[in-house]
């Protein structure tokens, strides 16, 4: 009998997240947004895999961004080592031809990114889907790469600093890698550190000349104030990195490079500004450390936080917020009081149901159900326990992923199952809504759950 995938059954970390010795922008802002989410994402899950943290959910936008970074890095390094200061120089065309052109580089980088996801339990069921979608984006990725490379200007004395924490980089484990002062030139993917502050960060591009010092960060998404804060942190870390920058030289230009254009960010002009930013980071770091020391870190449940949270299927507080309160749990058929999260989504569903617009676009739902009666190997009639659009206590049909047919006998009436990003079809007149698992849907089995405490 085939076993149910562990990714469908593991609900809690073996041990809670540990705050890293060196804080980073992404860890800090993530923990400030929701300590519970960070504790779940960075906990230890030995029953799932042998890596740290909960497996990352593959997102096309994020994976596309990784590919763009890899290709831009490769082209820039080859052009620089070939003696070109920009793409506009005549011999740049030949160098690009020798590399095989943009498309070949994108395909190679796509393979590298996909290979890095081997062993990720959240990737296995969607590997073919993600792979085909990424390869369909070649033209879009090529356009972004061309925009970024065309903007680059660098000195011919250009090197790459091995990035220790990036698994898809070929240079990530260079033997004997040491940190030493950076000279004039353009340096890619530089890990900046302030040992005294206890912070580190990765600058995409650091260009140093006799008169100027510029830090550039490439962004494939939309402009955000968070990015400005991020690049100013890099400026602070650069100024205080005693190994790479022993003279304490300050950045004279900070640039955020988006597909739509470049944006200059105000630099840290003096020690007073540096100290103020350092004090702010020190205070915020201490608050995050304290928040994560709790055996049950706080869950900041809101539509904004939870909508894109990668571990919301593990968070009991989230499911409690979209379902009935325990004291209000009625007998079947009685009215229930539901939370106000996703009220707009519920209104859209109600409008579709009332008008019986079954042919119109369906909605996506996070839903927890209790299986009631089997219809087929993968289809059940179920009771809704919690949902962003359906009424708790109502009946629905649930269609599981096709893979579930191979262990269908392990599902029993009374089992509780959580679905995230499931597709919900408006029912025909008098029929039941259909909750359907698609490629992006994830399941978590909650039967025989034992304690629901986060810490157990």
- Span 7-33, pLDDT tens digits: 999 999 998 888 899 999 999 999 999
**398, pLDDT greater than 60:** yes
pLDDT band at 156 (very low <50, low <70, confident <90, very high): low
C-alpha distances in Å from residue 278, one per residue of 26, 113, 121, 269, 271: 16, 35, 39, 14, 10
* pLDDT per position as a tens digit, 206-251: 999 888 999 999 998 889 999 999 999 999 999 999 999 999 999 9
Phi then psi for residue 310, to 5 deg, are: -75, -15
pTM of this prediction? 0.85
Domain that holds residue 307: 303-445
Q: Is residue 16 part of a domain?
A: no
Looking at residues 313-320, what average pLDDT do you find?
A: 93
Q: What are the tokens at 297?
A: 């870190």
Looking at residues 130-158, what average pLDDT do you find?
A: 85
∠ Cα 389 392 395 (to 5°): 95
Mean pLDDT score of the chain: 85
- pLDDT value of position 173: 31
Q: What are the tokens at 360?
A: 């119109």
* pLDDT per position as a tens digit, 157-204: 544 443 333 333 323 333 345 789 998 888 888 999 999 999 999 999
Are the C-beta atoms of residues 122 and 46 closer than 8 Å to each other? no
Three-state DSSP at 259 gives coil
Q: What are the tokens at 16?
A: 């809670």
315, 342: one domain: yes
Looking at residues 313-323, what average pLDDT do you find?
A: 90
Looking at the chain, the number of H-run helices and the number of E-run strands are: 12, 12
pLDDT band at 1 (very low <50, low <70, confident <90, very high): low
**142, pLDDT greater than 70:** yes
- pLDDT value of position 161: 43
213, 356: one domain: no
Domain count, the chain: 2
pLDDT band at 155 (very low <50, low <70, confident <90, very high): low
* pLDDT per position as a tens digit, 99-114: 999 999 999 999 999 9
Which one is predicted more confidently, 168 or 68?
Answer: 68
Q: Is residue 18 part of a domain?
A: no
Which one is predicted more confidently, 185 or 423?
Answer: 423
Helix-strand-coil percent breakdown of the chain, rounded to 5? 35, 20, 45
**Can you name the residues that pair with 418 across neighbouring β-strands?**
368, 444
Q: What are the tokens at 305?
A: 């936080």
Question: Dihedral, CA atoms, 315, 317, 321, 322, nearest 10 degrees?
Answer: 20
Q: Which residue has the tokens 């089992």?
A: 415
271, 399: one domain: no
C-alpha distances in Å from residue 452, one per residue of 34, 111, 118, 320, 446: 19, 40, 31, 12, 10
pLDDT band at 335 (very low <50, low <70, confident <90, very high): very low
Please identify, among 285, 320, 344, the residue that sits at the C-terminal boundary of a domain: 285
pLDDT band at 86 (very low <50, low <70, confident <90, very high): confident
Q: Which residue has the tokens 């870390």?
A: 237
361, 402: one domain: yes
Q: What are the tokens at 230?
A: 């991020």
Q: Is residue 164 part of a domain?
A: yes
275, 330: one domain: no
310, 276: one domain: no
Q: Is residue 362 part of a domain?
A: yes
205, 336: one domain: no
Least confident residue range of 128-137, 158-167, 264-273, 419-428: 158-167
Task: Find the CATH number of the domain harbouring 309.
Answer: 2.40.50.140
- pLDDT value of position 51: 92
* pLDDT per position as a tens digit, 337-361: 445 566 666 666 666 555 554 444 5
259, 407: one domain: no
pLDDT band at 255 (very low <50, low <70, confident <90, very high): very high
Three-state DSSP at 215 gives strand
Q: Is residue 20 part of a domain?
A: no
> What is the rounded CA–CA span in Å between residue 324 and residue 99?
59
330, 200: one domain: no
Q: What are the tokens at 189?
A: 């993917």
Q: Is residue 1 part of a domain?
A: no
DSSP 8-state symbol, 205: E
327, 242: one domain: no
């Amino acid at each position: 009998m085939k076993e149910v995938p562990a990714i469908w059954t593991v609900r809690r970390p073996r041990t809670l997240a540990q705050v890293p010795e060196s804080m980073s922008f992404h860890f800090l802002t993530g923990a400030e947004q929701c300590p519970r989410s960070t504790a779940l994402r960075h906990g230890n899950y030995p029953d799932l895999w042998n890596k740290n943290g909960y497996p990352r959910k593959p997102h096309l936008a994020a994976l596309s961004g990784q590919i763009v970074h890899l290709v831009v890095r490769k082209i820039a390094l080859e052009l620089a080592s070939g003696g070109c200061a920009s793409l506009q120089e005549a011999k740049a065309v030949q160098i690009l031809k020798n590399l095989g052109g943009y498309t070949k580089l994108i395909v190679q980088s796509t393979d590298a990114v996909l290979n890095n996801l081997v062993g990720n339990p959240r990737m296995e069921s969607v590997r073919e889907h993600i792979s085909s979608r990424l390869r369909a984006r070649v033209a879009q990725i090529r356009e972004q790469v061309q925009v970024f490379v065309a903007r680059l200007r660098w000195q011919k004395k250009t090197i790459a600093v091995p990035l220790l924490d990036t698994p898809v980089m070929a240079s990530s484990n260079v033997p004997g890698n040491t940190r030493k002062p950076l000279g004039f030139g353009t340096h890619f993917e530089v890990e900046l550190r302030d040992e005294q502050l206890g912070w580190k960060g990765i600058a995409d591009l650091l260009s140093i000349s006799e008169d100027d010092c510029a830090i550039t960060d490439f962004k494939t998404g939309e402009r955000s104030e968070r990015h400005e804060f991020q690049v100013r942190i890099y400026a602070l870390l650069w100024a205080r990195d005693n190994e790479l920058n022993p003279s304490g030289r300050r950045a004279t230009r900070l640039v955020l490079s988006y597909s739509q254009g470049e944006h200059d960010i105000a630099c840290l002009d003096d020690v007073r500004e540096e100290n103020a930013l350092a004090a702010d980071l020190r205070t915020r770091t201490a608050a995050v450390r304290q928040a994560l020391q709790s055996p049950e870190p706080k869950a900041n449940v809101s539509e904004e936080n939870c909508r894109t949270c990668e571990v919301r299927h593990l968070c009991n507080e989230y499911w409690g917020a979209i379902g009935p309160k325990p004291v209000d749990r009625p007998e079947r058929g009685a009215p229930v009081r539901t939370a106000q999260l996703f009220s707009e989504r519920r209104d859209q569903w109600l409008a579709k149901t009332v008008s019986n617009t079954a042919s119109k676009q369906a909605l996506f739902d996070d839903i927890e159900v209790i299986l009631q009666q089997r219809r087929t190997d993968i289809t059940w009639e179920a009771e809704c326990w919690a949902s962003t659009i359906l009424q708790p206590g109502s009946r629905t049909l649930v269609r599981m992923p096709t893979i579930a047919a191979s262990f269908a006998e392990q599902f029993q009436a009374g089992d509780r199952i959580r679905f995230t990003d499931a597709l919900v079809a408006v029912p025909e007149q008098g029929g039941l809504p259909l909750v359907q698992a698609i490629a992006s849907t994830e399941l978590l089995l909650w039967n025989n759950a034992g304690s629901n405490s986060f810490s157990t």
